[in-house]
Amino acid sequence: MNRNNSKTIYFDNAATTRVSDSVLEAVIPYLREQYGNPSSIYSLGRQSATAIAKARTQVANAIGCSPSEVYFTGGGSESNNWAIRWFDSVITSEFEHHAVLHVCTNPTLLPVYANGIVRPEDLERALAENPDTQLVTIMTVNNEIGTVQPIADLGTICKNAGVLFHTDAVQAVGSVPIDVQSMNVDLLSLSAHKFHGLKGVGALYIRKGVKLPSFIVGGAQESNLRAGTENVAGIVGLGVAIEEAVSGLQSKNEQLLEKRERILKTVMQLPKVRLNGDLERRVASNLNFSFEGIEGEALLLQLDFKGIAASSGSACTSGSLDPSHVLLALGLPHEIAHGSLRISMSKYTTDEEVDYLLKELPPIIEKLRAMSPIWRD
């Protein structure tokens, strides 16, 4: 397996996932035969409207809410923008996705420590120091290091304080159980392409009683809150994908954990390597390493030459030469943060692919360190 082969060994599922066969089968009719505008009153339009209603119910069932509380969007970043942009006083964490951090105006930032976990007591302290807080937004799972945050505890604190609580669950759906009621969540963002749906479609959960302004005006779609003809095929695919994603979750995670432990055991035997983020409180599909003396982009190019697709951080900032803000928030120095590798798997990741990664990665690390002017064995 190398660049001359057509097959890519894919370890970047936190960036995006392949569309599942059942999702593809479900969406094709809504591109070719059942393509009616859902706002039309004739049967072709009503079929599309019915399909959207079914998908809304599928999403609601997956996250534990009412279908009337689910609003379809163009993806996770749009959902985050819609949930956050109206609030002036916001508490969030240092390592949120930029679709959260760049929307907030002068937010209060909670630390995430070396293990990449927000501490509930820090939120309690921040709320006491900022009594005018209107919204708290903390991601359920970090997109780079895969750590799972204590969302239910944070949600309870916000509920007791009378402050709205939003969570970016883009990396969480299909990896951890989601129940907006037990988590005390008022607003939740998700994106289909992170769990084998199509790109360009997502959803925002808005708890009944929470009033947000219309995100796009000019039409009556999504209860007059997001104008524009619906992406019927994408929404249908989202419904199928989320239903699949939450089905058999424990069994899928057990299989991923076996693969994750094999990778972890081999990689941690290399010299001067660090696992970023808490080992136990993280999703089964994610590992994030930093290699001393290695430049991340060089590592990715060498892996790509061998036919392996991986990441050194968030796909949304892959064009930046700056070190990951997530790793810097953990306390890593710049030179170590630059040498990171994110390995993220899915239900389609095979044992053979793990074998190939573990065969190719160590000699690449050795080669790059031999070329590095800053590496000292």
Catalytic positions, please?
316
Count CB atoms within 10 A of the CB of residue 365. 23
Token couple for 266: 């081999």
Q: Which residues pair with 187 in a beta bridge?
A: 166, 206
Rounded to 10 deg, the angle between the 232-246 and 43-63 helix axes is 30
43: exposed, middle or buried (C-beta count within 10 Å: 0-12, 13-18, 19+)? exposed
Choose among 180, 156, 158, 160: nearest CA to 169. 180
132: exposed, middle or buried (C-beta count within 10 Å: 0-12, 13-18, 19+)? exposed
Q: What is the DSSP string of 30-67?
A: HHHTS---TT-SSHHHHHHHHHHHHHHHHHHHHHTS-G
What is the residue type of 126? A
DSSP state for residue 194 in the 8-state scheme: G
Q: How many CA atoms lie within 13 A of 91 on its CB side?
A: 26
What does the alpha-carbon distance between residue 223 and residue 355 come to, in Å, rounded to a whole number? 50
Choose among 48, 51, 31: nearest CA to 39. 48
308-309 and 202-206 strand pairing = unpaired
Q: What is the rounded (10 degree) CA torsion for 288, 292, 298, 302?
A: -70
DSSP state for residue 287 in the 8-state scheme: E
Alpha-helix runs per DSSP H in the chain: 21-27, 29-32, 43-63, 76-84, 98-101, 120-129, 151-161, 221-224, 232-246, 249-267, 296-305, 325-329, 334-337, 351-371
